[in-house]
Structures are given as structure tokens and as C-alpha cells.
Amino acid sequence: MTGHNKEKRYECDVCGKAWQYPSQLEIHRRVHTGERPYDCSDCGKTFTQLSGLQVHRWVHTGERPFDCSDCGKSFIQLSVLQAHRRVHTGERPFDCSDCGKSFKMAQELKIHRRVHTGEKPYGCSTCGKSFTDLSGLRMHQSMHTGEKPYGCSTCGKSFAHLSGLWEHRRVHSSERPFSCSDCGKGFKSSKHLKVHRRLHTGERPYTCNECSKSFTQSSNLLSHQRVHNSDRPFPSPLCGERFTMASHALSHQRVHTSGQPYDCPYSDESFDSSRGLRQHQRAHAGEQLLPLRQEFQESMGTAGEPADTHQRETL
């Protein structure tokens, strides 16, 4: 045999995928058998290959030996550093032949292609649900096992996935690595930045099928839909009155515990919610502008004269 067939002559009897060496086939077959012979002594997580365990151990030691020369960010794998560097160069060399979408890594393209082919090679042995990539299967399996091997060293909270722990750690630090290119505001996660960007773009992708009102977040749509179905799942523990949102039930509870806890600094009035106070304070907006208006009129030599409508609106 010559050429490509000779290079990959060891074929998997389950899925037909071929490999160049028998050792590669042996490792691949663990995808089908579920065998994970390499255990982490710290958290018990298992791996199909020794190299996978060795990389994982750096999660516990904190070692990140591969540094980016542009921004100083460090990584536990060289391949991840190489992909990260394309953030600085803008390079996305792997293109999808079906839709033209481009990717920084060949593996990202390979997984994306399954959107077009419908291939979902990773099946859950518990419920049968299948996934396009192994990480998706592992994330799903943690729902069945309840396993949360990644613990925060600061507060002890644990997570099923390392990415969850990394994002959580920013709660304890002032780090906000995701910045808005329009206004410069920083965020602790890319997800929060994505939602914020909709303020600038006007995008409201979540639409109510009852009244067509649209929202920037799915959670806001869910809360809104309760207006239509009269669902009020959040009761006050003190009086039983029910609300569409947990925040409304919490605000209402202050009526019982503190009376009217939100005081207006400009008058003797108080309110049971911050929203009520904000609405009330708008009535004072004109009063706060009076000294400025008088100063302006004096500088113009018109003190005591009634300002015209345009001046009132401007000031």
C-alpha cells in the first residue's frame, strides 16, 4: 500500500477512523470504551492519556509555563498560547468551506463543521444525549454525577468545569479583562461584555411572542412573559403577596422589616424601593437647576426677568 492509505492503516472497528500507529488507535478506542486510566491524585479527575493528566496537574500547581510576549498572559499549553497570539495578529487561518466562517484553530473548525454535517460523535452513556465535542459531553455528564472538582482557594465554592472556576476567581479580584471598544467599560466575563454591547448596537434578540416586545437578555424576557400568564412565582415570606421577580419580592419585604427604607435627601418622603425613590427624585431635578439658572441670568444681565421657554429647557 502506498500514499495516504499506507500512512493510516490501523482502522477503528467501531467508527472506521484510521490511524498511522497502533498506539494512536489504542488511545482513540478509549473514546468508545470510556476507559480513562490516568487519575489525578488531587481531585480524582481521569484522563485517556498521560499527557492530558500532566497538563491538568498544572491547574492545581498554578504553573502556566507558556507566556505571551505581547501581553504577558500565560497558558498551560503551547497550542493554546499559539492560538491566543492570533488575538493580537487577527489571524484566522482556518476557513469553513460551507459558510466561510474562519477560526484561529483547526480543532475549532473541525468541531464547527459538525454544525453542517449534523455529526454528534460523543454520546452520554447515562441518558443517550449526544454532543459535537468531548468537552460538551463532559460538561453534560457532570449533571448526572454532581461532580465539582474545581474548588476556589479563596471561598471554597466548587465548579464542575475549570472555565467556571477561572471566571469565578474574578469575583475576588478587581480584574476586568473584557473591555467595551465603544465606551471603555470593563467586565469580568465575555458574556457580560456581550450583553453590554447591545446597549450600543441596539440589538434586542429576545422577543416576546405575545406582544413582540424585545429584550437584550433571555432572563428579562422570561420575567416579562409573566405579565401575560399572570405567573407570580416569588412570594413574600412575611405576608404571602406574590411577585413576578425575586427582586420585587425582596424590595417588598423591606416594607415589613424597615417600613420605607429609601429616604429622599431633598424632602421628608421615603419609599419602599430604590426604583420608587429614583422616580420621585426626578421631580426635584428642576429645583436643583434653579441656582444655576439664576447665576446664568445674572451673568447675562437678565436677573428678575422671566426666562424664555428655550432657556428653561436648555438649563
pLDDT tens digit sequence for 228-260: 877 777 787 777 777 777 777 776 666 666 656
Q: Which class for 271: exposed (0-12), middle (13-18), buried (19 or more C-beta within 10 A)?
A: buried
pLDDT tens profile 73-82: 888 888 888 8
Lowest mean pLDDT among 113-117, 126-130, 169-173, 261-265: 261-265
CATH fold of 204-288 = Double Stranded RNA Binding Domain (3.30.160)
* pLDDT band (50, 70, 90) for residue 3: very low
Coil, strand or helix at 161:
coil
Whether 283 shows a pLDDT value over 60: the answer reads yes
Phi and psi torsions of 153, nearest 5°:
-70, -15
φ and ψ at residue 263, rounded to 5 degrees: -95, 140
Residue 123: closest CA among 38, 46, 15: 15
Map out the domains of the chain as residue ranges. 3-176, 204-288
Residue 272: pLDDT band (50, 70, 90) is low
What pLDDT, on the 0 to 100 scale, is given for residue 308? 45
Mean of pLDDT values over 36-43: 89
Residue type, 282: R
**Out of 4-13, 60-69, 134-143, 218-227, which region has the weakest mean confidence (pLDDT)?**
4-13
Of the chain, the percentage scoring pLDDT greater than 90 comes to 2
Residue 98: all three cell numbers together:
460551507
The dotted CATH code for 3-176 is 3.30.160.60
pLDDT at 45 over 50: yes
At residue 186's C-alpha, the angle toward residues 181 and 189, to 5°, is 105
pLDDT single digits (tens) 177-221: 888 888 988 888 888 888 898 889 999 888 888 888 888 888 888
pLDDT more than 70, % of the chain: 80
Mean pLDDT confidence for 163-187: 85
User: Do 69 and 84 form a contact (C-beta atoms < 8 A)?
Assistant: no
* Residues 6 or more apart in contact with residue 151 via CB below 8 angstroms: 157, 158, 159, 165
Report how far residue 188's alpha carbon sits from residue 170's, in angstroms, rounded to the nearest whole number: 6
Q: What is the pTM of this model?
A: 0.36
Residue 286: the pLDDT is 54
Distance CA 109, CA 96 (A): 7
Residue-averaged pLDDT of the chain: 79
- Residue 56 DSSP code: H
Listed range (50-64, 87-101, 266-280) with the worst mean pLDDT: 266-280
204-288 shares the fold of 3-176? yes
Residue range 141-162, pLDDT digits in tens = 888 888 888 888 889 888 888 8
Instruction: Band the pLDDT of 97: cuts 50, 70, 90.
Output: very high
d(CA 251, CA 263): 14
